[in-house]
Structure 1
Amino acid sequence: MLFLLASAAAASVAAATAAPAPAAPDGEAPQAERQLDEEIVVTGRQEAPYRAQVVQVGAFRNQSALDTPANVAVITRAMLDDQGAKGLDDALRNTPGITQQSTSPTTSNNFAARGVLLNARTNYRLNGALQIINLGPIPVENKQRVELLKGVSALYYGLSTPSGIVNVVTKRAGDRPVTSLYVDGDVEGSVGGGFDIGRKVGAGDAIGIRINAYGSHIETPIDGVNGYRYLASGAFDWQASDRLSFKLDVEHYRRATDEPGGITLPTAVNGVITLPAIPSPHNRYAPVNAPYRTWVTNALGRMDYRLAGTWSVRVEGGYANTRRQRMIANIGKTNLVTGAGTIAATYTPDQEYANLYWRAELAGEAQTLGIRHELLLGYARNRQVQEDQHPQSYAAVKQNLYAPLALPLSALTPTTVRLTAGSVNIDTGLYAMDQAHIGEKLLVIAGVRHVDYRTRTSSTDFALRTWTPTGALVLRPTPKTSLYFSYIEGLESAGTAPDGTTNAGSVLPAVRSRQLELGARAEAGGMLLSLGWFRINRGLAYTDLATNTYVVNGRALHQGIEASVQGTIVPSVSVALAGQYLVARQRQTGVAAQDGKLVDNAPRWSGSAFVNWQPVGALPLGLNAGVYYTGKRFTDVLNQGVLPAYATLSLGASYRLALAAGRTMTLRANADNVTNTRYWATGGSTLYVGAARTLRLSAAVSF
């Protein structure tokens, strides 16, 4: 990796990723470079701004959506802009079945998809490659789009939970120069600003540079919870020759805010958990200035070399590092009538996580008996390190659920410091995939990965070697329709025992998951329509309420139907509609009261609908509206309590002004939770109230 980064850096301001290779002259074989989404640069309104033509995640990178045998949700830059998105929670609300669990969305996003938690250290990727660590909100100011590959993804990504892979794709320099300056803020008092500059320079525009920077003061609707954040990033490309290219991405971001404090799930009485009335979303339970701080640095380098004919080699490597300081301060043992309760607080000042990643691939085409094979052979290795941690506990302090006190940090009395041992996880994979095109109507996909996985802690040493297969069929009845069937096996780490459990910080061994998926897609005008059924059978990891211990025990069967429509209905109206029906049940737990119960925090019904109206012609006005629905969820594995269903409404408007010298100014206003609905934003052992009504404003000048 050091050689790769050094080579790229020596070449230019910061060398980097592959720009698209020149098109092959007529009669020559097409070049085999599998171009990533970095080549897709939005320079204005597209014909279908909410519809993605290709998929850029996993082994299906740069593949037509119609030929992809999996559910992939894509949130484009145009949609992010129209919705005024500031983070992944704003982006992923456009995909059904997404919930959050046990952490405050104000400070961190702990997502679940299809009723399965996304692992913060394995299920998030930068440019389809580097495992980034999601322990603080991932910024989107420097991102071109956000993708969610739902379900099992073991062939390309190795160990990860079968919820899905979130892929964030960085902006890159395109054929047209980009210069944008912008400011934004909200009615709570937040104010920020940044710039986005992209250029191609050098002989033949061989070098591409895209620089983004942003900084802001943060105020939230939660009383006294504020802070700041900043981002600096660079995406660099160097087309060294018609065969050789480099890419480099570097980003650093920091966020410092206060922990608002959560509400510990009440204890069941006679088999029933009674939840309190949803308190004000402005309430803060944690002490004043209780810290939540994150520092994140991600670096990813890549080299592509085109061999003879259609064959090419890719080598890439990266490093992700996240530091976090966090105080957990949750109110529990609450009198639901008076609100009287106590705060249980823990402060961990020294959390540090690092991922070291590298990959090498050989890709190309071969013909056998009239069948065109797209072949992919690869080696990947991820090394995850979690340093030792030293949580400091504090004596309980009185607090009130409905009328919280402004507690100074000095009111906390330290008690014990304990050691949470660190760990090292190494996931090494050898994989091969063949996409066999039989005529123009049938695609047969077969792949296999050899997994070599090891987890080491001070007390455990777990090793596993096995194979995980992948198979799929894609039928194209017409050029604009497809039917697909896929079967995938995968491995997932059962995760790390969460804070508050008796074995907090313990890394559990890996378990196997199996997924079947059947679906159909169709292009209709400027829209892409998708319908799919899925079935995931996975190992069950949960907190045993009887012992308050995080365990792996039994199986969970997740079955459901997903449907979506994205694109342009008429030239002036773009839509993004999606819905999911899910039934996720627990089995073989050995606990009669638990077998057959639904998985907690997994709504049966969920969906979203977003519509943007932007007339074609002289009128520079845009209006949009979105509705986001989450059905009722159970609070725990025994289904003893229920989180009610809720829906939120968002409204937005934009206005574009023409300025002198070809400049434009775009003004935007976006309001979320317009009706000020009160709802539980998270499930799990700790509950957080959803954000109150917010209004964001922004102004951007483009040169």
Structure 2
Amino acid sequence: MAAVATAAIASPAMAQERRLDEEIVVTGQRDGYSVDVVQVGAFRNRGVLDTPTTINVVPRSLLDDQGAQGLDDALRNTPGVTQQTTSPFNTNTFVARGIAVDAQTNYRLNGGLPIINFAPMPIENKERVELLKGASALYYGFANPSGIINLVTKRAGAQDVTAAYGIVDAQGGFGGGVDIGRRFGSDGQVGVRINAFGAKTESTTDGVSGNRQMVSGAFDWQARERLSFRVDAEYYRREGEEPGGVSLPAAVRGTITLPNIPSPSNRYAPAGAPFKTEGLNLTARADYALAGTWSARIEGGISSAHRDRLIVALGSVNLATGAGRLTLTRTPDQFWQNRYVRAEIGGKLETGQLQHALLLGVSRTRQYRRDQPQTRYAPIAQNLYDPVTIDLSSLVPASRTVLGGNTVTDSGAYVMDVISLGSRFDLIGGARAVEYRTRTASQDYTLRTVTPTVAGILHLTSASSLYSSYIQGLESAGLAPDGTTNAGETLPAARSRQWEAGVRMKLLGAMASLSWFNIDRALSYANADNLFVVDGRAVHRGVEGSLLGALGHGFEVALSGQYLNAKQRETGSATLNGKRVVNTPEWSGSAFVQYRLPAIDRLAINAGAYYIGSRYADAANLAVLPGFVTYSLGGSYRFTLKSGTSLTFRLNGDNLTNKRYWATGGNTLNVGASRTVRASLTIDLPSQPQQVRSRS
């Protein structure tokens, strides 16, 4: 895939927020893993050293070197991220810091539009993936305090991009795509970046395969010296099959004994059990430079997702023989849609000797989920260790129901002020006034409140800073998940509180970060009656560290680790109070190192290790999921033809030791993929630099 990098931007110690209309564009040249600027939330376009919260960034160069195929590959580089409920082959249900990443509110495109993760989002057309951890109510309103996952699209830059690539894996999957970027006009005022990708997908589970496609366009137009426009459009679909998961066994005399981890090749679902998704994201933005340092922005968009899924789980398993029974539920016509609009103004002013960087705005998001017809089928015998093939046509409907739809409207007005006190200290204050309304056929709930944000940043040197922050968040407890008695029920809103302190510094060509966090939030879980409820509080405390960038000539590293102590409180149940929150490993981390040989700069080798510690699969802490570590190994070789065309060959292997592990926690367990090997070839045609109109 075409190697890209962000344009160089100065990062002085006392950097203020850049103008809203300032662009950070790709140059078409390969860069390392170092990241200087964030592009998410109210702190966008500020330097990493000037951001008072934990942000993990996975740049394009790291995604390419690891041969990443999806968000799960990207986020394994961020500590404290686990998965639950659904098979990772088809989609990802992430948990960060022990808190679910909501599929309809916590994913963003280019820092704005809330995109919907029920249709797994492609990364082939993305320049980077960012995870802004913790609460974020000031800018994003209602969103779980797990964090915001922001996907930044590739855009036309100062260099033309013309690339084609192909991929193949050891399971028999294959595919390819193109990446084309151009600027047009006398001053390069129009930019176009087109990406397209298609693949036949194969998994390490017998008979589970599919296909996926993606096409996207990123368009920029500098209409006037002060006025610019940006439009993004992407469509993607995935057609796969459900492999089937394993239901958490019932407790026996106060203990839940898990079965031996079966082979990743075992398929429990009927042959042809569908898991089909498609997504469409459209967003547009206009920026206008006002007088002085002030600028205004208006943006809006629509995100929609469709899904047809047969949920299959194997339960009541005899641990000795593996005999059990499948529960099967088909929801063929699921549909979600988000509509989003935002208007804001930002700039700088002085009051006496104080310098202010102000941001004021309003936003509104409308989330819609339509009624979903659902069919439950009669249970069918299956075996955990020696599964048999089941014909999809043999299923017998047992009952039909409709999961009620809902409409959620989240409106807010916000203000943030970054006050520079002298040359080394920034004080940040902000607040958001919220009106949140959720409606169903039987419920109409409205909440009006204000959430504050306070932070301070001390710049020790031009290459280091200390920060502390207090942020309040608002979250909907969401919907009761599949597998619970009240699946699909909308749960009430709740407030979370987050304290964080940290230090950052540049070391050689890398950014080092260390932070402490404490999140106090409402607790949601499936109780003894399998009802998903909001009851009590959860306190998530931990320490997180990372190192990303170059260390010495030829070495690039992506190191991260997290210690997390997440406990349940005030539940009203002695069996739950003081117990660890579901699916929260105490220890997790990753280490990835790439070395580019000095004598053969075109040749690079890399290795990685990814660790998830032991977790509890239930709220009462009766079932323990063992910790695991997987290893990766890879390399690349790049050579250039006489014509100037560059060819890059990559080879990557994951889970090299063929480790068996539970990839997901919670009510439904899914086995992780076995050893995988994939190769790719990228062809980059030579390009000439284009003259681009300055935005400064």
- TM-score, normalised on structure 2? 0.95
In structure 2, distance between residues paired with 1:681 and 1:84: 20
Q: Of the candidates 424, 427, 432, which is equivalent to residue 415 of structure 2? A: 432
1:694 aligns with 2:676: yes
**Residue of structure 2 in register with 1:34 after alignment:** 20
1:678 aligns with 2:660: yes
In structure 1, distance between residues paired with 2:128 and 2:553: 22
**Residue of structure 1 in register with 2:292 after alignment:** 309
Q: Of the candidates 592, 599, 615, which is equivalent to residue 574 of structure 2? A: 592
SS where residue 481 of structure 2 aligns? Answer: coil
Are the counterparts in 2 of residues 32 and 312 from structure 1 also a CA contact under 8 Å? no
Bigger mean CA offset, 74-83 vs 522-531:
522-531
Bigger mean CA offset, 288-297 vs 132-141:
132-141
In structure 1, distance between residues paired with 2:30 and 2:484: 50
Are the counterparts in 1 of residues 658 and 674 from structure 2 also a CA contact under 8 Å? yes
1:540 aligns with 2:523: yes
In structure 1, distance between residues paired with 2:296 and 2:353: 25
Give the partner amino acid of 1:34: L
Which string of whole-angstrom CA distances, capped at 9 and with x for unpartnered residues, describes residues 453-505 of structure 1? Answer: 00000111110000000000000111111000000001100010011212111
User: Percent identical across equivalent pairs?
Assistant: 54
1:615 aligns with 2:597: yes
In structure 1, distance between residues paired with 2:548 and 2:45: 18
The alpha carbon displacement at 1:32 in A equals: 5.9
Q: Of the candidates 315, 322, 347, which is equivalent to residue 332 of structure 1? A: 315
**Residue of structure 2 in register with 1:3 after alignment:** none
The alpha carbon displacement at 1:615 in A equals: 2.7
- What is the number of equivalent residue pairs in this alignment? 674
1:605 aligns with 2:579: no
Give the partner amino acid of 1:40: V
**Residue of structure 1 in register with 2:3 after alignment:** none
In structure 1, distance between residues paired with 2:541 and 2:34: 26
C-alpha change, 1:498 and 1:32, in structure 2 (3 Å) is closer
**Residue of structure 2 in register with 1:369 after alignment:** 352
The alpha carbon displacement at 1:44 in A equals: 2.3
The alpha carbon displacement at 1:618 in A equals: 4.4
**Residue of structure 2 in register with 1:14 after alignment:** none
Q: Of the candidates 447, 460, 483, which is equivalent to residue 464 of structure 1? A: 447
Which string of whole-angstrom CA distances, capped at 9 and with x for unpartnered residues, describes residues 534-574 of structure 1? Answer: 00000001111x21111000000000000111110012000
Q: Of the candidates 427, 439, 443, which is equivalent to residue 444 of structure 1? A: 427
**Residue of structure 1 in register with 2:200 after alignment:** 217
Give the partner amino acid of 2:155: R
Are the counterparts in 1 of residues 20 and 296 from structure 2 also a CA contact under 8 Å? no
1:554 aligns with 2:540: no
Give the partner amino acid of 2:20: R
Give the partner amino acid of 2:365: N
Give the partner amino acid of 1:461: D
In structure 2, distance between residues paired with 1:169 and 1:424: 27
In structure 2, distance between residues paired with 1:31 and 1:596: 42
SS where residue 447 of structure 2 aligns? Answer: strand
1:237 aligns with 2:223: no
Are the counterparts in 1 of residues 162 and 181 from structure 2 also a CA contact under 8 Å? yes
SS where residue 346 of structure 1 aligns? Answer: strand
In structure 2, distance between residues paired with 1:450 and 1:583: 32
**Residue of structure 1 in register with 2:692 after alignment:** none
Give the partner amino acid of 2:104: R
In structure 1, distance between residues paired with 2:497 and 2:319: 42
In structure 1, distance between residues paired with 2:17 and 2:80: 39
Which string of whole-angstrom CA distances, capped at 9 and with x for unpartnered residues, describes residues 489-532 of structure 1? Answer: 01100010011212111111110000000100011110111000
Are the counterparts in 2 of residues 32 and 363 from structure 1 also a CA contact under 8 Å? no
Are the counterparts in 1 of residues 179 and 193 from structure 2 also a CA contact under 8 Å? yes
C-alpha change, 1:640 and 1:494, in structure 2 (3 Å) is same
Are the counterparts in 2 of residues 39 and 172 from structure 1 also a CA contact under 8 Å? no
C-alpha change, 1:336 and 1:84, in structure 2 (3 Å) is same
**Residue of structure 2 in register with 1:109 after alignment:** 92
Which string of whole-angstrom CA distances, capped at 9 and with x for unpartnered residues, describes residues 91-113 of structure 1? Answer: 00000100001111011100000
In structure 2, distance between residues paired with 1:619 and 1:67: 34
In structure 2, distance between residues paired with 1:500 and 1:525: 50
**Residue of structure 2 in register with 1:8 after alignment:** none
Q: How does 1:383-398 map to 2 (within 5 A)?
A: 383-398=366-381
Q: Of the candidates 167, 187, 207, which is equivalent to residue 150 of structure 2? A: 167
Give the partner amino acid of 1:651: L
Which string of whole-angstrom CA distances, capped at 9 and with x for unpartnered residues, describes residues 40-86 of structure 1? Answer: 3152232xx11110111100111010010000000000000000001
Are the counterparts in 2 of residues 188 and 221 from structure 1 also a CA contact under 8 Å? yes
SS where residue 91 of structure 1 aligns? Answer: helix
**Residue of structure 2 in register with 1:479 after alignment:** 462
Q: Of the candidates 639, 656, 676, which is equivalent to residue 638 of structure 2? A: 656
In structure 1, distance between residues paired with 2:21 and 2:651: 35
The alpha carbon displacement at 1:189 in A equals: 0.5
Q: Of the candidates 59, 63, 74, which is equivalent to residue 57 of structure 2? A: 74
The alpha carbon displacement at 1:577 in A equals: 0.5
In structure 2, distance between residues paired with 1:616 and 1:313: 47
1:323 aligns with 2:306: yes
In structure 2, distance between residues paired with 1:675 and 1:380: 49
In structure 2, distance between residues paired with 1:55 and 1:437: 20
SS where residue 145 of structure 2 aligns? Answer: coil
In structure 2, distance between residues paired with 1:401 and 1:517: 44
SS where residue 79 of structure 1 aligns? Answer: helix
Are the counterparts in 1 of residues 649 and 682 from structure 2 also a CA contact under 8 Å? yes
SS where residue 643 of structure 2 aligns? Answer: helix
In structure 2, distance between residues paired with 1:245 and 1:272: 62
1:638 aligns with 2:620: yes
Are the counterparts in 1 of residues 499 and 519 from structure 2 also a CA contact under 8 Å? yes
**Residue of structure 2 in register with 1:26 after alignment:** none
In structure 2, distance between residues paired with 1:448 and 1:616: 51
Which string of whole-angstrom CA distances, capped at 9 and with x for unpartnered residues, describes residues 324-354 of structure 1? Answer: 0000011100001100001100001110000
Are the counterparts in 1 of residues 207 and 267 from structure 2 also a CA contact under 8 Å? yes
C-alpha RMSD of the superposition = 1.4
Are the counterparts in 2 of residues 94 and 608 from structure 1 also a CA contact under 8 Å? yes
Q: Which runs of 5+ in 2 are unaligned?
A: 1-5, 11-15, 686-696
The alpha carbon displacement at 1:310 in A equals: 1.2
Which string of whole-angstrom CA distances, capped at 9 and with x for unpartnered residues, describes residues 132-159 of structure 1? Answer: 0001321110000000000001100000
